[in-house]
Amino acid sequence: MGKIALVIGHNPRGKGAYSPYLKLSEYEYWENVCDEVKKMEESIDIYSRKPEQNYIQEMKPIVTEINKHNYNFILELHFNAGSLQAKGCECLIYFKNKEAKKLAESFMEKLKNKYGSNIRKEWNKVKETKINKDGKEEIIEKVIETKGLIFITDSKMRGGYGICNTNCTYVLVEPFFGSNEEADKFKNIKEMAKFIVDFIKSYENWGGINMDKEFWIQVLGYIIGTIIFLTLKWKYEGKEAITTEILKQELEYKEKGLGALKKKAVQEFVSKLPKHVKIFINEDTIDIIVRELQPIFKKIKGEKENGNNKTNNTPIIWWQKTRVISRLFLWY
């Protein structure tokens, strides 16, 4: 089994929420669970916060120690509290971490199967960068509904310090509300410990977490990109095709600068690809390509202003082409 760690929520002094159903605080409950986890699987590391002046000071030494190890993932253990009616499970994750999203969704699904837990609806505000019609970047804020996922965008948010400052996938779990009678289902400490251990083992076994995944995605991207580049070179005159299209659009849209026509040039190029290739390409991936090609567009504009419109003076070297084309197929 890979290296996994658990972080017990809160500390012996600030014990977190208290559950009248469990007759235990968050800290006491999860400390007991982790004692049983250690008996079942010694390889799982357990971290406990020492009382300090504030949450960040308590978390700093934990994060420093975690970052010395090559953990596959971390689970920080809590339970919720609220009104008597509030119930269900939720998880806090870094909003850009897709591995954390998969891990949290799997955890909540298994919790639902085991305990009949309700996965709560959450509404998260996120900011996205888009290329507008003038070819400029703009930030758009929107609300996304999720099943049980609370997006953390910076370390100042509640529970965000460990999520934002560790060098591995980190999920803060809230399996139930201690203030609701659903907590009765979680009284059996050994059963919860077994659930945690079984989840860790099963998640690893089906390959949910792979420490080298990002590396292999990049390798696969370059391999696919190289194959596609060679295909385009043979079928569409390779690196000349897109630069020719860009210059063509530049000439057609005189006095309009490189705003909308950057995107139009890429769209024209994409439109010439085979149908079985185009189905994998959408507006988001085209926006990514426009950003990737920014240096090339600038060079083209400079050469045009200097009176040089020859495409062979605006080369896209093969590794640039590989990177750009691979982005079309491996957006993430």
CA distance 145 to 149: 9
3 state DSSP class of 158: coil
Q: Which tokens belong to 16?
A: 């977190």
End-to-end CA distance of the chain: 27
H-only helix segments in the chain: 26-40, 55-66, 98-115, 160-165, 189-205, 213-235, 239-252, 259-271, 275-278, 283-292, 294-305, 318-329
- How confident is the prediction along the chain (332 residues), in pLDDT tens digits per residue? 679 999 999 999 999 999 999 999 999 999 999 999 999 999 999 999 999 999 999 999 999 999 999 999 999 999 999 999 999 999 999 999 999 999 999 999 999 999 999 999 999 987 777 888 888 888 888 888 999 999 999 999 999 999 999 999 999 999 999 999 999 999 999 999 999 999 999 876 655 554 445 555 555 665 666 666 656 555 555 555 555 555 555 445 444 444 555 566 666 666 666 665 555 566 666 666 666 666 665 665 566 556 554 444 444 444 455 555 555 444 43
What structural domains does the chain harbor? 4-211 (3.40.630.40), 214-329 (no CATH)
CA distance 69 to 229: 39
Number of C-beta neighbours around residue 187 at 10 A: 14
* Pick from 191, 179, 168: nearest CA to 2: 168
CA triple 261-262-267, angle to 5 deg: 85
Q: Which amino acid is at 213?
A: K
Looking at the DSSP bridge assignments, the partners of residue 137 are 131
Q: Which tokens belong to 85?
A: 């009616």
CA distance 185 to 191: 10
pLDDT of residue 8: 98
Sign of CA dihedral 161, 37, 204, 26: negative
Read off the DSSP letter of residue 186.
G
pLDDT of residue 246: 52
pLDDT of residue 178: 97
The label of the residue with tokens 């495409």 reads 311
Widest CA span in the chain:
80
- Contact at 8 Å (CB) between 270 and 281? yes
CA triple 161-162-165, angle to 5 deg: 80
* Pick from 79, 35, 323: nearest CA to 193: 35
pLDDT of residue 258: 46
- Contact at 8 Å (CB) between 87 and 180? yes
CA distance 166 to 168: 6
To which H or E segment does residue 43 belong? none
- Contact at 8 Å (CB) between 262 and 278? no
pLDDT of residue 255: 44
| Residue 81 CA neighbour count, 13 Å, CB half | 14
Q: Which tokens belong to 323?
A: 């990177």
To which H or E segment does residue 171 belong? strand 169-174
CA distance 10 to 288: 41
